[in-house]
Amino acid sequence: MGRSQSDPPKSNDQTAISSKRKREDEAHRRDLDSKRKKLLVTRRQLPIWTHQKAIRAAVRDHDVLVLSGETGSGKSTQVPQFLLDMFRSSKIAVTQPRRVAAISLARRVADEVGTPCGSSSPASTVGYSVRFDQSTSPSTRIKFLTEGMLLQEMLRDPKMSQYNCIIVDEVHERSINVDLLLGFLKQLLAERRRGRNPLKVVVMSATADVETISNFFSKSAPQTNGHSTPVPGTDTEDNTAEASSAASWQGIADDEAGAPNDEVNASNDTKSSVNICHVEGRQHPVKTTYLPQPTEDVIDTALQRIFKIHCGEPMPGDVLVFMTGQETIQNLQKLLEELAENLTRDFPKLLVLPLFAALSQTAQQRIFEPAPPNTRKVILSTNIAETSVTVPGVRYVVDTGKAKIKKFRNQIGLDSLLVKPISQSSADQRKGRAGRESAGQCYRLYTEEGFMSFDRDNTPEILRCDLSEALLKMKARGVDDVLNFPFLTPPPREALEKALMQLLQLGALNEDGKISKIGLPVARLPLTPSLGRVIVEAATLDCLLEVIDIVACLSVENIFLNVDTEDARGKAQEARQQLFRRQGDHLTLLAAVQAYASETSDRRRWCDDHLISHRAMKGAMDVRKQLRAQCKQAKLLPEKAEVETENGPPYEAVSDNILKAFVRGFMNNIARLCPDGSYKTFIGNQTVAIHPSSVLFGRKVEAIMYNEFVYTSKAYARGVSAVQLRWLEEVIG
Ligand code: CDP
């Protein structure tokens, strides 16, 4: 359209700017298109590619498709694209157990589709949503999101009406959220089938245990209360006939599949029709080497192995090392970097990259970038890289055989993190990472007998974790009878009862078991019920901004860098100690955030001067921004609460209130000082020591409150503050 008479004439500058922008847009489009074409060649070689039509037919003709296939066969990246034009007017959701996978998949699929990713352009059709980071546009059609985020969306929109297809990926990980999601989806399928907007569900797994999932969906959904409408006349008998007669993978010939359309079929039956498919993998041979004897010092053995690979193996290729957690990873990283400095020029350089859940997104995404010339990447990862993410270029895997596993300890009524041997299936997944692109090598830092003693499979999280978060989500979705919820694996009744008790104690449920006025905002915050309760309490105690700052720090990696006492740089150590607060870690974190936020000149330098991780601090600032927005949305914080806490009244005035808010959410994590100088928990009377990383380490106070219970060489409390016993009564009211 031409310019109207009333438009002001454009200046030469404006014209130049607008034609420059046009040229840039055009160049960007060409760039995206050439990337798309290049990737199409790779996509066509994926094992899943030849099954495209059959997958579409299976989804068109059934409510649920259960698709199994080796990691790397192309499930996560291709299936959403295969299905996209079957659902012309709505979105496809693809869930992932982990943030890093959701983001990297969104970026990869955006490149393959030839569209900008996320919120970078209003025309972008592929986006993602993870805790504290939403990156979608009005045009988003494929949305990768963590299971937790989809559950959050379900609370806001119980019918999930914006989606016609929900793909639940990586089900073999059996996270508690995925189990919950499958239960909700089973109920939703029955509801949506009766409406005009049927839902299709694709469940994808790297292992072949598809029968359980298929049987689960082909049984009738039980009656539900609340948002989920009861299904009249349903029974609970196993619909084996339907499950077994469901078209098998080979049963659908490509030419039977028909042309793509948005008229997907939906049956009127109250039971879901399920189709099972399997895609073969593409795995190169991987040679496995065990240790002849068990090792006493796994870090040292890993260090030696990595250097043997680097200096001794002729094949190029990156190294992926599986470790237990942030601390061991950072220790090994430091040692590797020190030793790598002494490498002679005859060897390539080493680039060491950590990968663990609490790491910032930017740092996590670095593992996907190709190493610079003449450099070998060594990725030190927790079990995140086991199945969720594909790191290109890996040819060597070093497996310590251990992982940090969350376990609910009935005795103390808390989740604790324990370092445990992995399962045989995890070990095999880890090994498989070496054979993605070519033949590889896997070094197991344990003996073959050790491997034989591992459990065959992982125990689903729902059988070993605190269920309070899951239960609160169920209650918020109107599932009042949690004992009859369709769980893929029903958790023990005792664990459900414990979780109900905890929610009652938090005040998140009323006496009648229904969600309370306090419980609703707690369920909607992307935090554990305990932390959510702290936030709600802080709103009433007038210290919400401060508490958000602390919660933001607790949600990211440790902000204080590990320092060896010998090499601690005197002045920096002194500067850091000025941030330490005698009341403990919570107020220390607050002091650090506030000092960082008020630093306007050079924040990176400030971090160096205080031995604080700049990366962690930037992450905490992001989380703080998001939490503030969410608290405003939940009306816990007034719209105009943008005043920086550092400009507000000094927090000393509210420091007791801050700690009281934490006591309200963490009443089960309180231990009192005993005459023998030890701390014993109120619940379970268990001895717990203050972790050496705490500013309260070595101090004796009346009682302590802590956020985390870790069991390494002994039982440790982490994230600890001194509290007064009389606060307990005051807080309970
Ligand atoms: O889901 P599944 O494990 O079956 O495979 P996928 O995640 O779809 O990955 C298929 C292939 O895409 C991988 O082998 C990688 O080569 C590539 N890919 C990638 O380069 N970057 C990603 N973020 C994801 C996949």
Instruction: Kindly report the CATH number assigned to the domain that includes residue 431.
Output: 3.40.50.300
Q: Is the CB of 432 under 6 A from ligand 1?
A: no
* Residue 436 included in any domain: yes
Regarding whether 675 and 609 lie in a shared domain, the answer is no
> Three-class SS of residue 651?
helix
The DSSP letter of residue 698 is T
CB contact at 8 A, 310 and 319: yes
The DSSP letter of residue 584 is B
Sign of CA dihedral 320, 326, 330, 331: negative
| Ligand 1, atom 21, residue with closest C-alpha | 108
| Three-state SS annotation for 147-201 | HHHHHHHHHHCCCCCCEEEEEECCHHHCCHHHHHHHHHHHHHHHHHHCCCCCCEE
* Residue 510 included in any domain: no
Regarding whether 379 and 322 lie in a shared domain, the answer is yes
Q: Which residues pair with 274 in a beta bridge?
A: 64
Regarding whether 717 and 626 lie in a shared domain, the answer is no
| Structural domain ending residue among the three candidates 617, 634, 654 | 654
Per this entry, what is the length of the chain? Answer: 733
Q: Is the CB of 404 under 6 A from ligand 1?
A: no
Calculate how far, in angstroms, residue 140's C-alpha sits from the geometric centre of ligand 1.
21
| Structural domain ending residue among the three candidates 403, 428, 459 | 459
Atom of ligand 1 nearest to the CA of 107: 23
Q: Is the CB of 105 under 6 A from ligand 1?
A: yes
**Rg (Cα) of the chain, in Å, rounded?**
27
- What domain range includes position 641? 525-654
In this prediction the ipTM stands at: 0.98
Q: Which two tokens stand for residue 411?
A: 């005795």
Calculate how far, in angstroms, residue 366's C-alpha sits from the geometric centre of ligand 1.
16
| Ligand 1, atom 6, residue with closest C-alpha | 74
Q: Which two tokens stand for residue 106?
A: 């969104």
Regarding whether 329 and 263 lie in a shared domain, the answer is no
* Residue 487 included in any domain: no
What is the number of other CB atoms lying within 10 angstroms of the CB of residue 609? 15
Low-confidence ranges of the chain (pLDDT < 50): 1-4, 223-263, 266-268, 411, 565, 645-646
Regarding whether 189 and 94 lie in a shared domain, the answer is yes
* Residue 12 included in any domain: no
* Residue 496 included in any domain: no
Q: Is the CB of 381 under 6 A from ligand 1?
A: no
Regarding whether 672 and 619 lie in a shared domain, the answer is no
* Residue 483 included in any domain: no
What is the number of other CB atoms lying within 10 angstroms of the CB of residue 626? 18
Q: Between the CA atoms of 732, 476, 486 and 102, what dihedral angle is there, to the nearest 10 degrees? A: -110
- Give whole-number Cα distances, 193 to 91, 185, 206, in Å: 17, 12, 28
* 129 phi and psi angles, rounded to 5 deg: -145, 115
Q: What is the arrangement of strands in the sheet containing 318-322, beginning at the earlier edge strand? A: 286-289, 440-444, 394-399, 318-322, 375-381, 349-355
Calculate how far, in angstroms, residue 50's C-alpha sits from the geometric centre of ligand 1.
16
Regarding whether 294 and 267 lie in a shared domain, the answer is no
| Three-state SS annotation for 493-548 | HHHHHHHHHHHHHHCCECCCCCECCCHHHHHHCCCCHHHHHHHHHHHHCCCHHHHH
Cα–Cα distance between 306 and 482 in angstroms, integer? Answer: 49
pTM of the model: 0.80
Atom of ligand 1 nearest to the CA of 105: 23
Sign of CA dihedral 278, 283, 285, 289: negative
Q: Which two tokens stand for residue 164?
A: 């016609």
The DSSP letter of residue 561 is P
Regarding whether 537 and 455 lie in a shared domain, the answer is no
Are β-strands 163-168 and 91-96 bridged in parallel, bridged antiparallel, or unpaired? Answer: parallel
Regarding whether 180 and 113 lie in a shared domain, the answer is yes
Q: What is the pLDDT of residues 463-475, one digit of tens each?
A: 988 899 999 999 9
Q: What is the pLDDT of residue 261?
A: 40
Q: What is the largest CA-CA distance in the chain?
A: 89
Q: How many domains does the chain have?
A: 4
* Residue 211 included in any domain: yes
CB-count burial class (<10 Å; 0-12, 13-18, 19+) for 691: buried
| Ligand 1, atom 24, residue with closest C-alpha | 105
Regarding whether 683 and 646 lie in a shared domain, the answer is no
647 Cβ neighbours under 8 A, 6+ residues apart: none
Residue among 596, 584, 667 at smallest CA distance from 414: 667
32 Cβ neighbours under 8 A, 6+ residues apart: 111, 114, 115, 116
Residue among 363, 707, 328, 359 at smallest CA distance from 556: 359
- Which strand (E) or helix (H) includes residue 449? helix 448-453
Calculate how far, in angstroms, residue 38's C-alpha sits from the geometric centre of ligand 1.
15
Q: What is the pLDDT of residue 717?
A: 92
Calculate how far, in angstroms, residue 447's C-alpha sits from the geometric centre of ligand 1.
31
* Residue 77 included in any domain: yes
Q: Which residues pair with 320 in a beta bridge?
A: 379, 397
Cα–Cα distance between 33 and 552 in angstroms, integer? Answer: 39
Q: What is the pLDDT of residue 246?
A: 27
Regarding whether 298 and 437 lie in a shared domain, the answer is yes
| Structural domain ending residue among the three candidates 624, 654, 684 | 654
Regarding whether 426 and 409 lie in a shared domain, the answer is yes
- Give whole-number Cα distances, 206 to 69, 309, 429, in Å: 5, 29, 9
Q: Which residues pair with 405 in a beta bridge?
A: 418
The DSSP letter of residue 437 is S
- Give whole-number Cα distances, 621 to 182, 198, 274, 503, in Å: 34, 41, 45, 29
557 Cβ neighbours under 8 A, 6+ residues apart: 326, 356, 358, 359, 360, 613, 615, 616, 619
Residue among 573, 679, 685, 553 at smallest CA distance from 620: 553
CA atoms within 13 A on the CB side of 394: 30
